[in-house]
Amino acid sequence: IGEQVSLKCSFTSSFPISERLTIDWTYRPLTGGQMETVFLYQSVPYPTTVGKFKDRISWVGNVAKGDASIAIQSPVLSDNGTFICSVKNPPDV
């Protein structure tokens, strides 16, 4: 609580990393409900601009090294839930 937390995500691909690579981070609260996108990467990072994680997500990954990690600033107990990292590097998924 209160300290920055890193959410680790690593990936490998059979194809060279290209500008078509996308990373989606989604979140679902412990109580269930709608999944919400909290981060998108497509050539550059796009932290969410709406919702409970607005202005609190930062990119800490490095796609060249197979790292798709993000960080959450000032986490609170209500941030608890399921975070899913999805990486696509066409034609590899």
CATH of the domain at 84: 2.60.40.10
| Strand positions, DSSP E, 1-93 | 5-7, 22-29, 36-42, 44-47, 57-59, 70-72, 81-88
Range of the structural domain that residue 70 is part of = 4-88
Residue 93 in domain: no
Chain segment 20-58, per-residue pLDDT in tens: 999 999 999 998 889 999 999 999 999 999 999 999 999
The total domain count for the chain is 1
Chain segment 1-23, per-residue pLDDT in tens: 778 999 999 999 999 999 999 99
CA–CA distance, 92 with 14 (Å, rounded to integer): 7
At residue 1, the pLDDT reads 74
Instruction: Please check whether residue 71 is in contact with residue 7, taking contact to mean a CB–CB distance below 8 angstroms.
Output: yes
Work out the average pLDDT over 72-89: 95
Amino acid at 86: S
Phi and psi dihedrals of 77, rounded to 5? -55, -35
Residue 46 in domain: yes
Residue 63 in domain: yes
